[in-house]
Structure 1
């Protein structure tokens, strides 16, 4: 069973954006003349977390993880998106080496700034209890477990692996699903997640994909892709108030809450995130 987070402080809410490298954001969110290298520090100064999504598309270099860690203030949190090679290409089959490679790529170098690891399944992936149980059971529950897993990386990572343990903190995982069969088997799916302490992502997708809001872990995770138009439409004051209340509900029962805006197409995400941050207590 995955370890729960040791409660050394009151529960907190973390709010941010999914990624920060978007050319269309320049001169709209990022001020004119801002160097591309300064976009992450600029965004991090206005958010309380960022979902790092480059890791979804390819394995990143240890130097990149170290640079991202150094670019944000102490106390900042990155959620990290797991590789699509595992979820979309391998489709949770033969994932042992790719999972080891992912954790050997430098993820652990984020140190205390490593937040939940997000796994997004494709819309064509139906509920399969055996496949899902095996994958979830293989996810490392702590930094030490992740380092032991990373040590089993294959030759692809030879000479470029980095997986220092640091403190043996728990590692959280969250899964976002998009196939309607998960709604039809919601109780079984929720039980499977809860048995391992993995969060079920609440995905707001303008009605395109299932929206499953079930508590299965000691934290909650929401991805806001657009209320009326996927990846494009923003959230008005009333909608933001509802999401603020959703977060407060989890805080009141001792759970941390993470909310990430992925409605980036019309540069709504950073402004919606900042507006929601103003409605809720800041971490620490």
Structure 2
């Protein structure tokens, strides 16, 4: 199954016809797309009951990815963050079986430091069930070297394929091969630019080439500032069929 969704589940007015029916934006969104990335956790915590309510409002086969708080990734820079990590994992447990991916996005200034990375990913992996996968979006070129790639693979952490890419190879998934996680932020204007028909056709072809292996595949559109994410996600879903 290919998971296609957006950062959040907002439905811009222009995209409303693609999400018919009644109910909340989340309920209408989940009737069309099969995944969503929760980014609000980067800025603030939510009660377990909130996650439980979100999980109860979507179909049984719907999946959530949840972004790790910036207090861990940007302020603590992965070091000495065990209490924060414990609190985060307790909260997101409210999603139950709908929790499929935990996403770590690192600041551009955060270079690869093996002891810090291995300690953190070991701690994170030990707090999650085997059903929950880990994706990491580094934004410093050192994370794309062979030693970092090997370390991510060893800790079962997938490196995000991002657009725009910040280093050679950054547009392709890396690290652990059990998960392919793409985040499309919009280019040339990050968070705003829509992807045109040629871009989406090329993306669909990439998925087609990967068809048949055992990896989980996600594609999250993060070009939400202009409202382009939802229609892009729906268009890709149409190109791939009912994934």
TM-score, normalised to structure 1, is 0.78
- Which one of the candidate residues 209, 222, 236 is aligned to 2:182? 222
Q: Which moved more, 1:269-278 or 1:44-53?
A: 44-53
Q: What's the CA shift string for 1:138-172, capped at 9, x where partnerless?
A: 1135xxx44xxxxxxxxxxxxxxxxxxxxx65221
* Aligned pairs for 1:140-159 within 5 A: 140=125, 145-146=127-128
1:92: which partner in 2?
78
- Which one of the candidate residues 99, 116, 132 is aligned to 1:131? 116
Q: What's the CA shift string for 1:185-230, capped at 9, x where partnerless?
A: x21111001101110100102x5x2325225231200000013221
- Which one of the candidate residues 75, 82, 87 is aligned to 2:61? 75
Is residue 33 of structure 2 the alignment partner of residue 44 of structure 1?
no
Deviation at 1:83? Answer: 1.0
1:60: which partner in 2?
46
SS of structure 2 residue aligned to 1:140 = helix
Tell me if the contact between 1:77 and 1:113 (Cα under 8 Å) persists in the aligned partners: yes
SS of structure 2 residue aligned to 1:246 = helix
Name stretches of at least 5 consecutive residues in structure 2 with no aligned partner.
Answer: none
Tell me if the contact between 2:48 and 2:93 (Cα under 8 Å) persists in the aligned partners: no
> What RMSD, in angstroms, separates the aligned Cα atoms of the two structures?
2.1
CA separation in 2, counterparts of 1:218 and 1:236? Answer: 29
TM-score, normalised to structure 2, is 0.90
Q: Which is higher, the Rg of structure 1 or of structure 2?
A: 1
- Which one of the candidate residues 263, 272, 278 is aligned to 2:238? 278
Tell me if the contact between 1:81 and 1:119 (Cα under 8 Å) persists in the aligned partners: yes
1:195: which partner in 2?
154
CA separation in 2, counterparts of 1:254 and 1:281? Answer: 19
Count of matched residue pairs: 237
Is residue 138 of structure 2 the alignment partner of residue 177 of structure 1?
yes
Tell me if the contact between 1:13 and 1:251 (Cα under 8 Å) persists in the aligned partners: no
Tell me if the contact between 2:142 and 2:148 (Cα under 8 Å) persists in the aligned partners: no
Tell me if the contact between 2:34 and 2:63 (Cα under 8 Å) persists in the aligned partners: yes
Q: Structure 2 vs 1, CA of residues 44 and 93 (structure 1 numbering), >3 Å: closer, same or farther?
A: same
Name stretches of at least 5 consecutive residues in structure 1 with no aligned partner.
Answer: 1-11, 147-167
- Which one of the candidate residues 229, 234, 241 is aligned to 2:194? 234
CA separation in 1, counterparts of 2:140 and 2:220? Answer: 21
Deviation at 1:100? Answer: 0.4
CA separation in 2, counterparts of 1:223 and 1:190? Answer: 18
Of the two structures, which has the highest relative contact order with CA contacts closer than 8 Å and spacing of 6 or more?
1
Q: Structure 2 vs 1, CA of residues 62 and 17 (structure 1 numbering), >3 Å: closer, same or farther?
A: same
CA separation in 2, counterparts of 1:55 and 1:61? Answer: 11
